[in-house]
Structure 1
C-alpha cells in the first residue's frame, strides 16, 4: 500500500507518539510478500497489528526485552479473557482514590511484576509511556485527568487483537537479536528501538539503554544473511535532532517521514514539525523510494487536491 486510510485495528496497549499516523507510511515500504514479520522492539506492536489488519504477512513474531510487556502479548494470544478480567478488576478498584490506587499498583508491579498491573499502569500513566528510575523501577506518574481506558473498551481491544493474530503469532521476552535470529530472506524485520538521543547510557527512562555499535553490527548481520529490514531510529522536531544517522557503509536508504506538528511544541506556542527517519535495507529501497513521505501526502484529500 502507498498510504491512505488505514482500516481500524484493535490496540490493547495504547500507541505512543505519532506511530498511528506513521503506520501507513511505514507499511507502504513492505515487500509484496512477507512470510514472517518480526517486531522485536514491539511495545504496543503497532506495526504488527496494522500489518495483520491489511494481510501483509503470513506470520508474526512479537518480542520485547521487558518481560511483563511481552507477557501482555503472550496472554493476549493465549488467554485474552482472563487478562481482560484482571484489568477490569484493577480499573474498578481504583474508583475511591484513583491516585493512591495507582501508586499501590505501581509499587506492587515494581516488587512482583505482573502483566495485568503493567497494562493498567500503561492505560493510566502520562503519555502511556514506560519510564524507569535509575534503580530500575517503573516511575511514570499517572495522568490524573483520566482513569484509563474503560474495561469495556479494553476488553474489545484485547479480544480483537487476539482474533486478528490467532494461530499465526508468537510473543517472547528477551533480547532483540535473539528474537530475529531465525529471520530469513522471505521474512521482514521491523525495528523501532528507543531513540539514541533519549536512551543513552546516562538516561534510564527506558527499560533498556540503546547500544548503538552493537545494533549496527546486528544490522550488518541481517545484510549478510539477506534479510530485508526497516528501522525507525533517529528523528527531529524543528531544529532538535535525536541521535546521529546510521553509518553510510550499511548502504541503507533514509526516508524522512513527516509526522505533523509536535504536540509539545503546539502546547508551548511553537510551530515545530516532527519527522522520523525510516531506514530501508537495499532490496526494499530499490522498489519503494517514490512512496509518500508525509502523513499529508498519504491523505486522500491531499492526493485529490494535486
Structure 2
C-alpha cells in the first residue's frame, strides 16, 4: 500500500498494520464502523483502496473525534490553526507546550489537541485521575512542520469528506445500532501490546462486557474483526478472547521491538486479529492472504 496521509501521531494507531488488516476484510463493504476509531487509520486505508465509501467513526475521546471532524470537514481551518500554534513555539518551545496543554485542559479545544499530539512523547495520549491531559513534550522535536501537516490534512479530507458519521459514544451504544451490511473493526485501547490498562480512555472497559457484546454481534451475524491481545518475545499482553466465541485468530508480526533492541534483546512484537465466524469460511483463503502479505501472518487453530 502506498503511503497514506496521517496528520495525527497516536500511539497504538494501526496505520502501519492497515494493509495487513485490510486483507481480511471483504472486497466491498456497505459501511465500515470503528467503535474505537483512534486516528481512523483503518477507515482511511479502506477508502484509499475503494473497499468502502461510507464510514462511522466513533471514539470515547470527544476532543479526538472533534479534531477528526475538523480534518475531514474543515481542512483549511484546522491547518491554519495548527500553523499559528506551531509558529508561536520557537522562542520557548517547552514553555509553549505547557501553556497549550493548560489551555487545552481548560477548554478541550481540538485545535490545541492537534499540536499537543505532534509534540508529546511518542504520540501517547495520557490523562491523570482528574481526566486532564498530562503527557510531557518530546524535547527532541517540535512537531510536524505546518506545510507537511496541511498536506496530510488535505489527503485525509480527500479520502473521507462527505462519507463519515462522527460520534463519541460508548462502544456498546455503537454496536447496538450497527446494521446487517456493516463491517465492524474494533481496536479496544485498553487491550493489546500496551498492557491491561490504557489511560488514553477516561474510563475502564470490562473484559466480560466486551465478550458479551461480541456474542451479540455473533448472534446477529454481523461481520467484524478485532485487534486485541498481543505478545513481545515471551511476554503476553492482554487476555485472549474465549474460544467459545468461535472466532478465527490471526497473528500478525509487527516487527522487532526497538526498546528491546536497545536493551540487547531480539524480540518480535506480534498482534492478534480475530475474525468473526462468517469470515474466511474457506480454508484456502488463509493461504492466499498470507502469501500476499508484506508481514508475516499466522493462522492460529
Q: TM (normalized to structure 1)? A: 0.90
Q: Is the 8 A contact 2:215 2:245 kept in 1?
A: yes
- Whether the 8 Å contact between 2:61 and 2:201 is mirrored in structure 1 is no
Aligned residue pairs: how many?
A: 292
Alpha-carbon separation, structure 2, partners of 1:69 and 1:205: 11
Deviation track 1:138-197 (CA, whole Å, cap 9, x = no partner) reads 111111110000111111111111111122112111211223333223221000012437
- Point out where structure 2 has 5 or more consecutive residues left out of the alignment: none
Question: Aligned pair 1:163/2:164, yes or no?
Answer: no
Distance 2:20 2:11 in 1: 16
Cα root mean square deviation, aligned: 1.9
Q: 2:246 maps to what in 1?
A: 251
Aligned counterpart for 1:172 among listed residues 167, 172, 196: 167
**Separation in 1 of the partners of 2:147 and 2:53?**
30
**2:286 corresponds to 1:289:** yes
Q: Does structure 1 residue 225 correspond to structure 2 residue 220?
A: yes
What is the CA–CA distance in structure 1 between the aligned matches of 2:29 and 2:23, rounded to whole Å?
A: 13
* Distance in 2 (alpha carbons) for counterparts of 1:190 and 1:61: 10
Alpha-carbon distance change, 58 to 296 in structure 1, aligned in 2, over 3 angstroms: closer
Please say if 1:108 is aligned against 2:106. no
Would the aligned equivalents of 2:125 and 2:199 in 1 still touch at CA under 8 Å?
no
What's the CA shift for 1:235? Answer: 0.3
Distance in structure 2 (CA, Å) of the matches to 1:286 and 1:15: 34
Answer whether contact 2:253 2:296 (CA < 8 A) is retained: no
Give the TM-score of the pair, scaled to structure 2.
Answer: 0.91
Q: How far 1:267 moved relative to its partner? A: 2.0
**Partners in 2 of 1:21 and 1:152 — Cα distance?**
22
Q: Which residue of 2 aligns with 1:85?
A: 80
Preserved contact between residue 195 and residue 242 of structure 1 (Cα < 8 Å): no
Hey, what's the Cα distance between the residues in 2 that align with 1:194 and 1:24? 20
The equivalent position to 1:66 in structure 2, one of 61, 75, 92, is 61
CA distance in 2, matches of 1:134, 1:292: 43
Matched, 1:181 2:179: no
CA contact (8 A) 2:31 2:181 kept: yes
Superposed displacement of residue 107, structure 1:
1.1
Structure 1 stretch 231-240 or stretch 70-79: which is displaced more?
Answer: 70-79
SS state at 1:148 partner? coil
